[in-house]
Amino acid sequence: MGTNDKPKTRVAFVLIDGIGDVSLPRYRYRTPLQVAKIPNLDAIASAGVNGLMDPVEPGLACGSDTAHLSLLGYDPRVYYRGRGAFESMGAGLAMSPGDIAFKSNFATMDTNTGVVISRRADRHFEEEGPILCAALDGMKLSAFPEYEVRVRYATEHRCGVVVKGSNLSGNISGTDPLKDNRLLLKAEALDDTFEAKNTAAVVNELSKEISQILVSHPLNKKRAEEGKNIANVVLLRGCGIRIEVPTFEKKHGLWPCMVAPTKIIAGLGLSVGIDILEAPGATGDYRTLLTSKATAIAKALSAPLQLCPRVFVPGGDDHKPGQANGYDFGFLHVKAIDDAGHDKASLFKVRGLEAVDRAIGQLARILWEAESTGNFQYSLCVTGDHSTPVEYGDHSFEPVPFTLCRLVDYVGAVGGETVVMATPLDAFPLPKVEAGEDLKEDFEVSEDSKSKDCKAFAGDSVCEFSEIAASRGCLGRFPGSEMMGVIKKFLQLKA
């Protein structure tokens, strides 16, 4: 990355979960990215190189876990071992070889019929979740007393569950029916080994005893009295073991850090040796403070070496010193846009993208201050892990836009240093969208009005950030497995 007399090159990588979408009739057949006012994202696209990326492969509606593995350079067909370990490690549970883990939901079940009425007991479970997890953590299975059970709260209605002991296998099905108003499932072995059959028996006993503890918990009695859904079952899915892979630094030669309040993403990062930074107020849901995320990544990439931030360590000491030589690759994960897609909230997706754009402007300002006074040159990269169209409410197979530029070119594209330095750094919440609210008439403009007068500043001919514009980029359409190669080659060429 350049000789000793050249500034070191570092990259701020922003991944907007669920960013991609399809054209919406209500917005004159444009996507939320095409409708949103996103001057900073447009400037990045105008300043650099662009393309469309299939996170894993064309035609595959992938999950965030497999997509992130692919983007970071780890073939999910080779390394994926279930998402449970990612969720549990991200929640703070240490895992050893032989342990199994689950990505789990607090849910509501009709105990008379065994039907799961709601797979989410409550989307906002931040107060109750830790209390119920504490009641479950360390529980003993009467039929299998030799196994240790650890439970830790994750995000919203989710928790991580780890089972420790011998003769365990990740090759079993889960108990989650995956849709409301379906029977709670029994875990089943997916092969004929003793370990798989034994694990299925252990997990079914675990599921039963978890429900017994939850049903009698005072907190659930209080929720019932208040007319709220009770959390009387934990749905166990994504059984997995900790993956064993070369670290990100060994694979790519870049020291990485990450801000990812979403536990499954944090756990995946930990699995490949990425340091997890704390960002106060960053929650991984609609209440998150994007400014805090942007500030944490910017400071990690620009801090003097002896002042590198301390990082989170699951299952051990709460923190440890950050990388002594400084970070080269700062990964900022944004979850709320994916939530908007799942909730079929088209206007919130538009407003959320505008909020992300504002935070990226703050990130760029802090990095520009550092570049102007320090020994680093920065690049900005923005993409997504999959599409989550609001019309579908779920992940889909459409490719996602990818853009990458030098910070100095972004500054030129956005209007110069004066514009960048005028960006306020005040924290702000994600916007609230009222029921029934929709875009005002000033948004209802012709389909090509946004790009009618724009011109590319540098790089290729693209001048805005959207799914359609990215298709015209010089990178063409490429698989996610090539993304890190694209980034590293760009850094070498621009060093």
Q: What are phi and psi of 14, to 5 degrees?
A: -110, 120
Q: Which domains does the chain have, with CATH numbers?
A: 8-80+247-494 (3.40.720.10), 84-240 (no CATH)
Which among 287, 290, 240 is positioned nearest to 268, based on CA atoms? 240
Mean pLDDT lowest among 73-77, 121-125, 306-310, 480-484: 306-310
Output the pLDDT for position 307: 47
pLDDT at 317 over 50: no
Which among 131, 135, 233 is positioned nearest to 183, based on CA atoms? 233
Q: Which residue has the higher pLDDT, 180 or 155?
A: 180
Cα atoms in the Cβ-side hemisphere of radius 13 Å centred on 379: 28
Q: Which two tokens stand for residue 13?
A: 């990588």
- pLDDT tens digits along 119-164: 998 878 888 999 999 999 999 999 999 999 999 998 888 899 999 9
Percentage of residues of the chain with pLDDT beyond 70 = 90
pLDDT at 446 over 90: no
Which among 309, 346, 342, 345 is positioned nearest to 326, based on CA atoms? 309
pLDDT at 315 over 60: no
Q: What are phi and psi of 142, to 5 degrees?
A: -60, -35
pLDDT at 445 over 60: no
Q: Which residue has the higher pLDDT, 312 or 89?
A: 89
Calculate the average pLDDT of the chain: 90
CB-based contacts of 176, cutoff 8 Å, min separation 6 = 105, 119, 185, 235, 236, 237
Q: pLDDT class for 443, splitting at 50, 70, 90? A: low
Mean pLDDT of 434-446: 54
Residues in the chain: 495
pLDDT at 6 over 70: no
| Residue at 192: amino acid letter | D
Do the beta carbons of residue 301 and residue 291 sit within 8 Å?
A: no
Q: pLDDT class for 316, splitting at 50, 70, 90? A: very low
Where would I find the beta strands (DSSP E) of 199-346? 233-240, 256-259, 275-277, 311-312, 319-320, 329-334
pLDDT at 173 over 90: yes
Output the pLDDT for position 150: 97
CB-based contacts of 258, cutoff 8 Å, min separation 6 = 265, 266, 269, 274, 275, 276, 277, 330, 331, 332, 333
Output the pLDDT for position 480: 97
Output the pLDDT for position 243: 87
Q: pLDDT class for 456, splitting at 50, 70, 90? A: confident
- pLDDT tens digits along 355-410: 999 999 999 999 999 998 877 899 999 999 999 999 999 999 999 999 999 999 99
- pLDDT tens digits along 422-439: 999 999 988 887 655 666
Mean pLDDT lowest among 39-48, 345-354, 452-461: 452-461
- pLDDT tens digits along 192-237: 999 999 999 999 999 999 999 999 999 999 999 999 999 999 999 9
- pLDDT tens digits along 75-107: 999 998 888 899 889 988 989 889 999 989 999
CB-based contacts of 147, cutoff 8 Å, min separation 6 = 141, 163, 164, 165, 202
| Residue at 152: amino acid letter | R
* pTM summary value: 0.85
Mean pLDDT of 267-278: 94
